[in-house]
Amino acid sequence: MRKSLRYLYILHELGCGVFLALLIFLLGIVEPYLFS
């Protein structure tokens, strides 16, 4: 039981990291168009 909880926690952390990376990536692409 403990092991699966830790695994879910790691998955959650990875998911947040990927989401933030995508957000920054998209902002980097869109920013020149917004402020041109």
Instruction: Tell me the per-residue pLDDT of 1-31, one tens digit each, with 9 for 90 and over.
Output: 688 899 999 999 999 999 999 999 999 999 8
Structural domain contains residue 3: yes
**Gap between the Cα atoms of 25 and 19, Å rounded:** 10
Could you write out the DSSP letters of every residue in 3-23?
HHHHHHHHHHHHHHHHHHHHH
**Per-residue pLDDT at 1:** 61
Structural domain contains residue 8: yes
Please, what is the Cα angle at 33 between 27 and 36, to 5 degrees?
125
Q: At which residue do the structure tokens 């998955």 appear?
A: 11
Domain count, the chain: 1
For residue 36, pLDDT beyond 80 = no
Look up the domain containing 21 and give its range.
1-31
Enter the pTM of the model.
0.56
